[in-house]
Structure 1
């Protein structure tokens, strides 16, 4: 346009055209600088444009469209015949009762689903009508009803049960048995004397569990991830996941599959950068509107998510001291009923007491913790629930000083040192999927690979907690990850005999509709039931976080409160530095309780 004006003016008058040309020449550097500034701004902010174009907003309402992503579970190395057999066994062991087939179209009606308010439980009488004694087993019968008060005729509800005595600081988790006809039994060992109260909670109805099952198998994309790529002034952000379906633009993929374990991970390739320019990994967000409006009615706080079921009749019993059987009656046909269900432990006076194995001692001051950890190297791998242990030790022993690695807050890696007592603590998060804010790409490590780098030995302690970030994926994905870690642990224990390995199980957490669809306690329960048998027999120590959160009186939280964390650490430290004197092992236990436990474990 400027050229056209100039030519027109020059054609009509040469002198005037020369003057305008000189004015334009004077400002040409300004226009060039303005153009360069605009180009630099565009290049430096292109990642924002890419984010808008390639990654859906975490809060964009997206209608339900169910894609079959089952192939995600089969990515990675092909399992051996033995591993495939184990996988089938594990999947069969956690199979959940299916909803009965209904004639006609599969319409969902809330009034036909389980209603905790209309449901009830009753405490069954002791055999022979006698009183309750320490060492007996208490049985509770639960009957589920729908929202119209009609008895349910099929099972599949997700129930929790506990027996507790608030005034004694006592509690124990119950075992729930599904009879598949609307009735459930809850079993409790009677481990202390006094008044004990039964509490039964419906976490999800059977209909809600069916929705969760479908989401787990068909929508592993409901949590999405992203990575930032950068080179010079140019940066882009693209979507990442364990498996990515081709997008409409047919964007190529960057393959970050781990070379040692075969664990798959992919990102859409940036349009203007290479795959080796990845800077970090981060949670992108949660897809919304992944269930129908009718299905959403199954996930209502204070209606059908984690609601207590009331008792029909008394909800508590009085437990008497253990009955002493006279020698002359030992051959009689009248004998105490043997305990059929034995939990891993229970609370009494606020302290966790293990049933079988090494009893948990109390480490109530910094000096006892420091003395226990002297000359130890403690490696902690996993999610934020094991990071709590690092934070607890770092705060409880002032002589252990955290070394500033300039790591992102709440992400790590972290390291703490006590040079005087030769103590080293280290924490690192597990490899993807990990739903942290931003992890440097250089810090993304798979636990199996990290374990392979440890020499091991009697002064090495390994603490693992890996479960929460796998809740949105098919169980096969978790089995594969645990299989790789198990292999690495076997190699570690072979080259470093005496290495102490502690594995933390999943725990309960607060539930609402949003949490339930992505991190339900039901997902955690399924992973927990896979974890335990996979590591059984390896000589590892389990910290039963599931029972420790269920039996405790404090509200459930993804990060258990300090009182529970202390009990976990007391148990771990009791294994790190076990007492050699049997009298010390039971120090602090009342003699009556000790005799009771001995009789239970006999």
Structure 2
């Protein structure tokens, strides 16, 4: 639902009656001329094909490891599973089943694995007939062509009756809407913080951003808002190195760290400085001035769902352990956002992300965590790109500050 002149938008809620009929509901959040758009992204045959294909194998992404010994290095094939009769290096996280393998190079120890990169492979579990379902002309069919606008008149309502936004609140559907480019939550009352209030809030805070590049966008955006935050060089290499912002005078530190395998990029990245999110959480003592933001999902879309579910369970257990030693630590889950519609559907379709979002809501709903519904937010902004624009990132951070300030 949108009103372009008002820079307003909101997602609808679809109810499936399991008999071939559906109800699409929209909440009229603002007054004015409102336009509705209902798209059929994939037919049920397409969804069934994506689900079957996704859970059929790990071969769509190829990993390559760089083993380093001084100035000498060797490249080797790696993966989350490897079908090879040669000797393998096995990298196991804790007592979990999170394993990464590499073919062991000659005359090089397994401990020498230093960098990893990946590439998309031309592997498909779809039939030729199924592939035709995902051609551009068959994705996102408009179901309400030439629909007339709706005139929404004002009604008396008191926004002040809503409780202040805080950690632990349940997020409804839809979680909010945009108006004049600002995100407004539907369930709670947000506080608009000025730069002075943000500086006061961040004083003494240790903030850990753990996840993928959609969260790294936060650390790139924050210095534009908080001018006293400066990047500190940790001597890492590559685009996906650990990023740190410091304000020494206010004792503020903000750190972004990528999540571990699977992390899909053609650029080599260090495996020394990045760990599994549960591992990173276990290494933090936590306190009332510590905040952790977690996001993962985009890099999991090309792999069977069991991998994502296992990682979500391990992250939940790590959060539970954190709350035992430090119940005052603030934990915020940023859901993954929608991305481009016309991409390799088998690997990256938003259908995979939608299912992962449902799992995330179930997995963390009874924990005392905050949720930033990036999925709902990017639909409302009509931001169908993996890296949303600054306007979206700024409103995500604004929601985060409401949770921790």
Question: Contact 2:206–2:254 (CA<8 Å) still a contact in 1?
Answer: yes
Question: Contact 2:60–2:124 (CA<8 Å) still a contact in 1?
Answer: no
What does residue range 543-554 of structure 1 map to in structure 2 within 5 Å? Answer: 543-553=372-382
Tell me how far apart the structure 1 counterparts of residues 191 and 261 of structure 2 sit (CA, whole Å): 36
Tell me how far apart the structure 2 counterparts of residues 245 and 457 of structure 1 sit (CA, whole Å): 45
Question: Contact 1:402–1:415 (CA<8 Å) still a contact in 2?
Answer: yes
What does residue range 309-458 of structure 1 map to in structure 2 within 5 Å? Answer: 309-311=143-145, 314-322=147-155, 342-357=173-188, 359-363=189-193, 365=195, 367-436=196-265, 437-458=267-288
Cα gap change, 1:511/1:229 in structure 2, threshold over 3 Å: closer, same or farther? same
Residue-by-residue CA offset, 1:370-400 (whole Å, 9 max, x unaligned) = 2221110101101111111111113322211
Q: For 1:306, which of 133, 136, 140 is the aligned residue?
A: 140
* 1:18 corresponding residue in structure 2: none
Cα shift at 1:556: 0.8
* 1:580 corresponding residue in structure 2: none
| 2:304 is equivalent to residue 470 of structure 1 | no
What does residue range 508-523 of structure 1 map to in structure 2 within 5 Å? Answer: 508-514=338-344, 516-523=345-352
What does residue range 136-535 of structure 1 map to in structure 2 within 5 Å? Answer: 163-232=1-70, 234-246=72-84, 250-288=85-123, 291-301=126-136, 303-311=137-145, 314-322=147-155, 342-357=173-188, 359-363=189-193, 365=195, 367-436=196-265, 437-514=267-344, 516-535=345-364
Cα shift at 1:446: 1.1
Question: Contact 1:261–1:448 (CA<8 Å) still a contact in 2?
Answer: no
SS of the aligned residue for 1:417 comes to strand
* 1:570 corresponding residue in structure 2: 398
Residue-by-residue CA offset, 1:119-143 (whole Å, 9 max, x unaligned) = xxxxxxxxxxxxxxxxxxxxxxxxx
| TM-score, with structure 1 as normaliser | 0.62
Tell me how far apart the structure 1 counterparts of residues 18 and 96 of structure 2 sit (CA, whole Å): 40
Residue-by-residue CA offset, 1:239-260 (whole Å, 9 max, x unaligned) = 22221223xxx22211101124
Question: Contact 1:189–1:342 (CA<8 Å) still a contact in 2?
Answer: no
Tell me how far apart the structure 2 counterparts of residues 233 and 319 of structure 1 sit (CA, whole Å): 68
What residue ranges of structure 2 are gaps of 5+ in the alignment? 158-171
Cα gap change, 1:253/1:364 in structure 2, threshold over 3 Å: closer, same or farther? same
SS of the aligned residue for 1:255 comes to strand
Question: Contact 2:116–2:268 (CA<8 Å) still a contact in 1?
Answer: yes
**4+ residue segments displaced more than 6 Å:** none
Q: CA RMSD in A?
A: 2.0
| TM-score, with structure 2 as normaliser | 0.90
* 1:98 corresponding residue in structure 2: none
Larger-gyration structure (1/2): 1
Tell me how far apart the structure 1 counterparts of residues 173 and 310 of structure 2 sit (CA, whole Å): 30
Tell me how far apart the structure 2 counterparts of residues 229 and 569 of structure 1 sit (CA, whole Å): 38
SS of the aligned residue for 2:241 comes to coil
Tell me how far apart the structure 2 counterparts of residues 510 and 281 of structure 1 sit (CA, whole Å): 26
Tell me how far apart the structure 1 counterparts of residues 47 and 103 of structure 2 sit (CA, whole Å): 33
